[in-house]
Structure 1
Amino acid sequence: MSQKSLTLVLLTMFACSGILKAQQTFSVSVDEVKNGKVKVEPAIPADGKVAEGTVLTISAKPDKNYALDAVYYSVKGMWGDMYHECMASPYEVVINQDTKLGASFIEEDEVDHLMVAQNIPYAKPGVKQLKYDVFAPEGARNLPCIIIIHGGGWIWNTEDIMRGMARELTKSGKYVVFSIDYRWAGNRDGDEVGNTMADIIGDVFGAIAHIMEHAADYGGDPTKIAVTGDSAGGHLSAVAGTMPNKIGDGGFGQTEGVFEFMPSYMPENKTVDQVRAEMMAAIKAAAPSYGVFGSDRLNHYSEDPKADDSWKEAIAPLSNIPNAEERKIPHYLTRGTKDGLIPDDGVKPYVDALVEAGQRVQYVQVGGAGHAFFDWKPDDNTKATFKKYGVYYINEMETFFNSVFYQKN
């Protein structure tokens, strides 16, 4: 057999056995950029095909009178383009699917009052590093803290999606704002054992514990906290507002009738009893937006065979509202009248139960708005919706917060 024939035979054998495989490529493109410039290194080939595993670095430079909003990449997800973002440039992206790259810019006067600290780590109970972002007005000192919890069906998004709200809430100079991340339900983060709703709630309380420990570093007062969030974050912020009394180390459902949430971060010098007491005293207001409050629409995400409806009741704010004589937690709730995910009759029972418990509550329906109008993403449609509905009602929400933290005696 000739050398050439032998080579062909060996190549065929290797290919059939899987030893030789063509390297997979994905389509990569750059979105249209406004008010700035973007550079990608190494350069994307003319045909837009990039080998799997390639690391691309995106650098962004704003035009005059503009600032960087975020550098990003987006991939197709269950709700269209799903964004992964960074508020600093450059930003590295590993290509493992069809991807769009880009950068978003914002008017400089929208952010020139701010000190932003991004990706502050607070815990790593699983595969994903948990973190939060801080938005502090210049010169902040002993200001009340607002903690924002993002939505995404408990299975998507990060704290980045709430940066528009965070920036808006700092413009008056009255608040330091923290936007937190948490584990995704099930195996979405790559954890071998799926994350339950009790785990997620533990992350929320862990983030708050870490923020209380470090709030003063950013000019915040750890004894004055408000919580807000939208959609899944609406549920989680209602939990944070109404249920810090459930913080404990007794486990969730492991002992019959015992449902406690262990914070995924605990200060070294404090017991769980101390953290519970301090958090109950510090959280003074809640503003859940278009959230889920009743057990009938909640999932505990547990595979424990003992899990039953009582496990859902234990994660439902509607079932755990404190009486105002024991602990006051005023509420401000919003919902868009065209919200196809959260109906009015999904919010009204929570409002009625708060009233029945003697709590102060304001429920505002936003005419014409759909779901997620407090979100912020790089696309023009999301930005336009935020400006149309989000800005006004964030300011209304801040008026509510002012009534709690700045009311004159």
Structure 2
Amino acid sequence: MKRACLFIFISALVVNVQVVGQTPQKHQVEVKKDVLFASPEGFDLTMDIYTPQTGKSSYPVLVIIHGGGWLINDNSIMDQMSEYVSGNAEYVVANINYRLLGDQNNTVTINEIVEDVFGAVLWVKDHIAEYNGDPNKVAVTGDSAGGHLTEMVVVAGGMLKSHGFTQSPYGFNPSYLPAVKTAEEVAAEGGLSVQAAIPSYGAFDMLAAAQGGFEKESNFFWQMGGAKARGLFGNDFNVTDHPEMYKAVSPAYLIPSSSGKKLPPQFFHVGSEDQTTPPVAVKAYFDQLKAKGHTAEYWLYEGRNHAYLDSGKNEFLGNSFEEDAIEPLNRMIKFLDSVFY
């Protein structure tokens, strides 16, 4: 069953998202809903796949990773974005789900969320040709928590270990792996490499987030997710005694030098009035990437708050998809076109 699509502003004011209007489209789109890609510990993970109907036999692919503080929302919060991109540009869109921290009796850990996203990307590469997608032309994007997960694909996609986080060196064992391949073999082949990425108002430092109170009851996302506040890695680990675990899920500590590994081109954007993932934090991460020799663009969306890509209308934040999402989506499409066309 799909989770309720809610957005919570960090001030703890709860606002229901109201879906209004229809998403404008230039061409028809075929949609396959709830496509199963993995079932970690019996928890079914699905994605919705959108294929443009413009007569081509193959299109580049955009994987969309929803936000919600790793505790709320499901992929339907990105429905209108998926419809717009697939209906106004020539991309197959895979709008994915992943486990939330409160799932499976509040036992899911942040590394397992990363593993679900990694598994989704690997499944896309294995199966997206069945939906007219080109597995050799894949981009990833996500907003807020999804921006964090997007960036983990980019900077940590080579950190695959069958032992996951059970021992050091820490790594990720994706929820889906190609048949007869280990996590290490997939990493050696560059199986999670992508050709472009768009982190939208993302969070890039989980160590700092934990130090700042993310794991405490004062973080209202726990209550909205129906879960008791606890550590990102469970109750047996904490940010003071195990900082290396938190760094291993934080893109801010994982950026390689371009002389060792060249990252794909990226496009960062954030609202000038964003109080949840402030522009200063997004720009600082962008500057780190540039300083290490990577190709990236940055755009500040003047006058906008957080979550402007979400479906529907959020009266508290002053966002509506029809009024606020179109300009950034057109900029995102322009960036993707510069990479793939």
TM-score normalised over the length of structure 1 = 0.69
Quote the offset at 1:164 in angstroms.
1.4
Q: Which amino acid aligns with 2:14?
A: G
Structure 2 Cα separation of the partners of residues 365 and 198 of structure 1: 30
**Alignment partner for residue 119 of structure 1, among 24, 34, 47?**
34
* 1:123–1:131 contact (8 Å) kept in structure 2: yes
- Per-residue displacement from partner, 1:225-279 (whole Å, max 9, x unpaired)? 1111001001111111221011221321x323x1111111122243323432455
| Residue 402 of structure 1 pairs with residue 337 of structure 2 | yes
Structure 2's unaligned 5+ residue stretches are 215-230
More moved, 154-163 vs 127-136 = 127-136
Query: C-alpha displacement at 1:192, in angstroms?
Result: 3.9
User: How far apart, in 1, do the equivalents of 2:337 and 2:27 lie?
Assistant: 23
Which residue, out of 169, 181, 184, partners 2:100? 184
Change beyond 3 A, Cα 1:309–1:330: same
- Tell me how large the CA RMSD over aligned residues is: 2.8
Superposition map of 1:318-329 within 5 A: 318-325=252-259, 326-329=261-264
Q: 2:125 — aligned with what?
A: 212
Q: Secondary structure at the match of 2:255?
A: coil
- Say whether the 8 Å CA contact 2:142–2:198 is kept in structure 1: yes
SS of the aligned residue for 1:106 comes to coil
Distance 1:73 1:359 in 2: 38
Report the equivalent of 2:228: none
Alpha carbons of structure 1 residues 338 and 226: separation in structure 2 relative to 1, 3 Å: same
Please give the alpha-carbon distance, in whole angstroms, between the structure 1 residues aligned to 2:326 and 2:182. Answer: 40
Distance 1:131 1:336, change over 3 A: same
Quote the Cα distance in structure 2 between the aligned partners of 1:74 and 1:169: 20
Matches of 2:90 and 2:136, distance apart in 1? 15
Count of aligned pairs: 312
Shift in alpha-carbon separation, 1:184–1:286, aligned structure 2, 3 A:
same
Counterpart contact for 1:111–1:167, Cα < 8 Å? no
Q: Which is further off, 310-319 or 292-301?
A: 292-301
Instruction: Compute the displacement of 1:331 (Å).
Output: 1.4
Q: Which string of whole-angstrom CA distances, capped at 9 and with x for unpartnered residues, describes residues 59-80 of structure 1? A: xxxxxxxxxxxx9977898663
Structure 1 residues not aligned, in runs of 5+: 1-70, 84-101
TM-aligned CA deviation for residue 365 of structure 1: 0.9
Identity of aligned residues (%): 31
TM alignment of 1:128-167, pairs within 5 A: 128-138=43-53, 139-167=55-83
Q: Which structure has the larger Rg?
A: 1
Aligned equivalent of 1:261: 172
1:376 aligns with 2:288: no
Matched, 1:297 2:209: yes
* CA positional deviation for 1:82: 5.0
Name the SS for the 2:61 alignment partner: strand
CA contact (8 A) 1:223 1:282 kept: no
